[in-house]
């Protein structure tokens, strides 16, 4: 059976699970639906719910933050409101010289819509995106 028939989750390596929990739960407001070991670290991983189901695996690993690519994107209805809420929670939006970003850090997305990026404490990049 092709993989397209199965749900998929993004996995994100972090260097310190407790610092990650403070960010993902405290700043992003995600709810952990599972906690367990990661390699030899008891309690070293979490699965976070988003959009009504398990969506994001966060686990402690020596490979944390080793990619500059966007690891996951949240598709939102009102990007201005979501960005304002993230900033109010202490999340810093990323700025890129190659993009024209507004005062909030939002830029036009290729093909239409708008997008903004932010990073977790390990430098893992995430985005929020809206069609309007």
The tens digit of pLDDT for each residue in 36-93 reads 998 788 999 999 999 999 999 999 999 998 898 999 999 999 999 999 999 999 999 9
Q: Distance between CA 25 and CA 125 in Å, rounded?
A: 16
**pLDDT at residue 40, as a whole number:** 83
Q: Distance between CA 116 and CA 104 in Å, rounded?
A: 9
Q: Distance between CA 56 and CA 11 in Å, rounded?
A: 6
Q: Residue 80's domain spans which residues?
A: 3-130
**pLDDT at residue 9, as a whole number:** 92
Per-residue DSSP letter, 43 = E
**pLDDT at residue 1, as a whole number:** 61
Domain with residue 71: its CATH number is 3.10.180.10
| Total structural domains within the chain | 1
């Amino acid at each position: 059976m092709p993989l397209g028939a199965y749900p998929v989750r993004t996995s994100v390596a972090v260097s310190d699970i407790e610092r990650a929990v403070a960010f993902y739960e405290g700043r992003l407001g995600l709810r952990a639906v599972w906690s367990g070991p990661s390699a030899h670290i008891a309690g070293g991983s979490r699965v976070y719910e988003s959009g009504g189901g398990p969506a994001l695996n966060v686990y402690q690993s020596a490979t944390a933050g080793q990619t500059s690519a966007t690891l996951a994107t949240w598709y939102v209805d009102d990007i201005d409101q979501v960005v304002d809420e993230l900033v109010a929670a202490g999340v810093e939006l990323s700025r890129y010289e190659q993009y024209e970003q507004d005062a909030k850090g939002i830029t036009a997305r290729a093909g239409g819509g708008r997008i903004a990026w932010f990073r977790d404490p390990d430098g893992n990049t995430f985005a929020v995106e809206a069609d309007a």
